[in-house]
Each structure stands twice: as C-alpha cells, then as structure tokens.
Amino acid sequence: MVALARRVALDADFGAAVDLRAIDHGFDLHGAYLPVLEDVSFGIPAGQFVALLGPSGCGKSTLLRLVAGLERPRHGDLLVDGEEVRGPDPSRVLMFQDPTLYPWRTVWRNAALGLEARGLLKEQRHRVDQALALVGLNKFAQAFPHQLSGGMAQRASLARALVNDPRLLILDEPLGKLDSLTRLAMQGELTRLWQARGFTVLMVTHDVEEALLLSNRVIVVSDRPARVRADLAVDLPYPRHRDHPELLRLRREALGLLGLGQDW
Amino acid sequence: MTVLAETAPRVAETGAHRSGGDRLANSLRLPVAAGLLWLGVAGVILAVPDAQELERTSLLGVLAIVVGAAQLGVAALSWVTAHAARLARFAPWLIVLALFVGVWEALTAKLDVLPLPFFPSPQAFVEVYTDDWRRLGDSLLHSLLLLARGFAVGAAVGFLVGVALGWSRRVGYWIHPVMRLVGPLPATAWLPLAFFIFPTSASASTFLIALATAFPLTVLTWSGVASVQTAYYDVARTLGANERFLILKVAIPAALPHVFVGLFMGLGSSFAVLVVAEMLGVKSGLGWYLQWAQGWAAYANMYGALLVMALMCSALITLLFRVRDRLLAWQKGLLQW
Ligand SMILES: Nc1ncnc2c1ncn2[C@@H]1O[C@H](COP(=O)(O)OP(=O)(O)OP(=O)(O)O)[C@@H](O)[C@H]1O
Ligand SMILES: [Mg+2]
C-alpha cells in the first residue's frame, strides 16, 4: 500500500471539489411526498475530509446517493469540480452502508469489480492485492462473502472502493460494524491513505468521536427533512488524540447539536 | 427393505463397544450375507429346471454368480483396504434385490404361476439386452440426439427471452402478452399442427421439445433477472459499469439460481414431449421402441426399454446437477441429488 501511495504522490489537485447548492430531495411514500433533504448547501474544497453527522433516518445516505450520482436531486444544483453531476462516475466511489458484496464472487473478484468494469483489471491486478492487504483480508481473497463475518464484509467493501483510486471517496458508515480495535486500526489506515493520496472524503458516521478524529470539518444535519445545522471546523494536526481539550469541546458541541447536550 | 436397512447402523453401533477385529467382522456380515444369497439364487436358477421355454437361463445363473462372488470379494478385500469397505454399503440393497430376483424367477420361469406375456421371467428380461441390444442402442441414440437438439434450442431461446423480458420494458410490452397466452399451453397440444407444418417429423419434434423447454426457463430466468436487488446495480454503476457489464456480470450471475430451477423444469417437460413425439410421429427412439414392443406384445422388451429410458433420464438430471454444483458453488445449502 505504501508503494501505491507513493506512486500517486501528493498531487495538490487530485481530490475533487464538491458544491451543493440548495438541494431539495424527497420520495413518494404511500402516495404522499416525504421530504428528506431541504435546502442543503455546503461546499467541500478539493482534498478535504468532511464528516456528516445526523440522527438516524434523517437523509444522510440519500445525500450520499445524490453526490455519487445514483439519483438526481429534485431541486438545487449539485456540482463536482464545477460540473453538474448527471450520473455515477468511477472517479466518485460510494461505499454503501451495507457491504452488498456479490455472493457469487470471491472476495478478490468483488474487490476487482471496478477495475473489471472499466477494463483495467489485466494491467492493475496488483492493486486488488494491495487493497485487500490494506484492509487485512489477503488471507481471505478466495473466500466467498457468506464465509465472512459482518466486519470482514465491510472491510472487503472498503477495499472494493479503494481499488479504484477515486478522487472523491463517499463513505456511508464505513467502520460501523467493526470491533473497537479493528476500528481504530482502520481509522489510522484511512487517515494515512487520505493524506498520501489527497482524495476528497465525504463520510457519514454515527460516531462523534470518529468524526472529530478523522475529519477537517464536521457537518451536523437536523432530523428529517435534513438541513445543515452546524459546520464545525476541526483545526487540529494529525494524528489526533481523543483527550485533546479542543476535541473534547467540539465533542460536547456536536453532541449538543444532536440533542444529547445535558447528560454528556 | 426398511427393516434390513435399519439393522445396518445398529450392527455398527454395538460393534463399537468390542475390539477392532470384531467390529470389522460385524461390518462384513451384510456383504457376506448378500454374496451367499446371490449364490443361492444362482443355484436355484441353474439347478431347478425351467417350467417355461427359455433361452438365457444359464447366462442369468452366471450373472447371479458374478454378483454374489463380487460381494464376497468386497468382503474379503475389506480386510485389506478401507476402500472396499465403502462398497459394503450397497449390501442391504443387494440382499433385497437377491430376494426379489429369487421370488420373480420362482414365480415365472420355475413354477410358471404368473401369466405370460405380461410377466416375463428374469431370463427373458436378460434376453432383451443380449438379443436386441442393437435396436435398443440405436433407439437410445436417436432419443438422445433428438432431446439434445430440442433442449439446446429451447434452453438458448428461453434464456435469451427471459433475460430480455427481465431487462427491457419494451421487450416485455410485446413478448409478455404472447407468452402469457401461449406459454401455459402444453407443448403436446401443438403436436398435430407441428407434424403437419414442419417438413420432417424430426424437425417437428425438435420444435416441440424446444417449446416445452423454453417456457419454464423463460419464466424463471425472467423472474430471476427481475428480482435482482437494485443495490447490486448501484454498486456496479458507481464503479463505472456500462449496461453490458450490468447484464452479463450482474443480472445473469445473480439470476443463475433461478435459471437452474427453470432448466430442471424444462428438462422434465422435454422428457415428456420426447416420448409422446416418438410414439406418435418419429419412427425411431425409445418412445417408438415402447410402441413397437407393445404392438408385438413383447412385454420383456417394453420393461427393458423402460429401464433404459429411466437410466437415460436419471443420468441427464444428474449431469445437470453436476453442472449446477460447479457454477453455483458459491451458494450454501444446495440440495444434493
Ligand atoms: N427509495 C426510497 N423510497 C422511499 N423513501 C426512502 C427511500 N430511500 C430513503 N427513503 C426515506 O428517506 C429517509 C432517509 O433515509 P436515509 O437512508 O437517507 O437515512 P439515513 O440518514 O442514512 O439513516 P441511517 O443513519 O439510519 O442510515 C428515510 O425516512 C427513508 O424512509
Ligand atoms: Mg444511512
């Protein structure tokens, strides 16, 4: 993985810049309109790591699907590098909340999916091995998904996203199913990788501490329909320590915004 | 049969408490019994004079001796290799078969109590294969060829139409109503028309078998493709997959378990149509052989052909199971045939 990181080198403009302008979105549910996103506006400069926090069911995954281009917003403009997002693109990879590995493919061939879809697999096989090594699954390369634990499946899905060398990595609770130790290790790997490759990250998490440890900015959204409630800058050097007073202060603030202020 | 089969594990259980040698001796009891029983049957066949006029009595006797000797050989070899010991699991079946053949032989050839020609003796059954193997083999070959042609055409068409129906709304608009109307019609209903329209009875039969195969396969492939989770497509789309990739590498593999259910159903109905087509139109094949044997009241030949047909169908189903097990190795809990 180190080799891979060096090969790409730190290219200041590698990451994609994202711009959301007054996004409205919703669904038709049982004949009625269910507003999910309301006037959501924020920008992410190239190379920034942004964490998205919000209550369950508020519309975080929906927002990520819009950014990935899997759905078009009902209103508002969604720009990546100044261009309207019209559909999915391999430079913006979404790692889903569920691993959704293909049960008929081995872990290796699941991770190779993006390269295969773009016809790059022949030249870049080593990238698959590297990504699997990074998430600690090289011993399970030939296993089928039903032979994996929930956390392993999630790591396999992270490897499948990383293989593609995305300019924008969109992560939906990527480490949610991991035990605390693996989680710490993967948080470290993610930070290192982000620093080495310079891609932009938009990550949903339900763990306030994780958001503060990893990101440059934490965006807190309200309950459905989601609106941006706060945009907290986290100006601390990496690697960060969870006991840092500034981090503790931000933590209290974020929890307060999520409605848990008093008891914490 | 059940009584005998149930005693087998019980023998093994009690043996576990004794020494190793005793246990082995116990597990050999059934093969030895089967061997001796078959030799006994051979003795009856060869020693008791036939009450009917029969040709292959001595051959049948020799066959019984061979089966019996083979069982005793297995028992003897079990002392040497564990490999042979595994063959011993057929012993309960062979005991039952020996009793069956013995009673059958006694009631027909030796005592002549069962009416001819409906109940031919075992040696008459053997005679079918020794004297008529050429015609039987030829019929088998013709049946296999016809079935292979029809099934291949039907499977290819059914699969493609199923994928198209599952994938494209426009295809669905035109094909769905036609399929709903025509699909459930049994393929045999087309028989008179097919033999009239097609230039040869072979092409007509191929068409009928293909039709019988295609319908269940189309429906199941279609439902398989239609029920693929949209999340699977989303994953591939964010990774840069085009439509071709989505069909070939996502929709079809995801639908494959359904496709195989369709193939099994298609194969089953193709057997039915094969036999009917051969009986009514084609002048070759096992179906025709059955018809011909009935015309001559050659019941032994009919039973002989039925056995060949059963073996053929069973072998084809087994083959399909093997293919499925290879392609769907990723599924857990597959049914073992
Ligand atoms: N395809 C859909 N059709 C109808 N409603 C939908 C659809 N997708 C999402 N929703 C609704 O949109 C709302 C937001 O869903 P979303 O998955 O974005 O929540 P979330 O913030 O990711 O929640 P969680 O933290 O639990 O994952 C929910 O109320 C959900 O019912
Ligand atoms: Mg979600």
User: Which of B238, B324, B325, B327 is the best residue to mutate to test the A interface, defined by the most A CB atoms within 10 Å of its own CB?
Assistant: B238
User: Which of A102, A148, A167 is the best residue to mutate to test the B interface, defined by the most B CB atoms within 10 Å of its own CB?
Assistant: A102
Q: Dihedral through CA B236, CA B237, CA B243, CA B244, nearest 10? A: -30
- Quick one: pLDDT at residue B19? 52
Contact list in A for residue B232 (CB cut-off 8 A) is 100, 102
- Residue A25 near residue A62 (C-beta atoms within 8 A): yes
Residue B290 Cα, gap to closest chain A Cα (Å)? 44
Burial tier of B216 (Cβ tally within 10 Å: 0-12, 13-18, 19+): buried
Among all chains, which residue has been given the structure tokens 């899997």?
Answer: A70
**Is B233 touching A (CB cutoff 8 A)?**
no
Q: Topology of B133-328 in CATH? A: MetI-like fold (1.10.3720)
CB pairs below 8 Å between A and B: how many? 66
Give the Cα separation of B135 and B127 in Å (integer). 13
Q: In terms of pLDDT, which residue wins out, A12 or B30?
A: B30
DSSP state of A33: E
Show the ligand 1 pocket: residues with CB < 6 angstroms: A 27, 29, 34, 36, 54, 56-62, 97, 224
- What does the pLDDT look like over B107-148, one tens digit per residue? 999 998 988 788 999 988 888 898 888 999 999 999 999 999
Handedness of CA B131, B134, B139, B141 (dihedral sign): positive
- What does the pLDDT look like over A42-97, one tens digit per residue? 999 999 999 999 998 899 999 999 999 999 999 999 999 988 999 999 999 999 98
- What does the pLDDT look like over A220-264, one tens digit per residue? 998 888 889 889 888 888 888 888 888 888 888 888 888 776 554
Q: Please choose from A37, A62, A64 the residue to mutate so as to test ligand 1's pocket, defined by most ligand atoms within 8 A of CB.
A: A62
pTM for this model (two decimals)? 0.83
Helices (H), B106-248: 122-167, 169-182, 191-197, 201-226, 230-238, 243-245
- Residue A166 near residue A89 (C-beta atoms within 8 A): no
> According to the 3-state scheme, what is the secondary structure of B76-122?
HHHCCCHHHHHHHHHHHHHHHHHHHHHHHHHHHHHCCCCCCCCCCCH
Of B239, B253, B328, the CB nearest to A90: B239
Contact list in A for residue B333 (CB cut-off 8 A) is none
- Quick one: pLDDT at residue A6? 40
ipTM of the complex: 0.88
Q: Which domains does chain A have, with CATH numbers?
A: 2-91+166-263 (3.40.50.300), 101-165 (no CATH)
What residue of B is the nearest CA neighbor of A162? Answer: B239
**Model confidence at B335, in pLDDT bands (50, 70, 90)?**
low
The structural domains of chain B, with segments of one domain joined by +, span: 18-120, 133-328
- Quick one: pLDDT at residue B266? 94
* Closest ligand, as measured to the CA of A63: 1
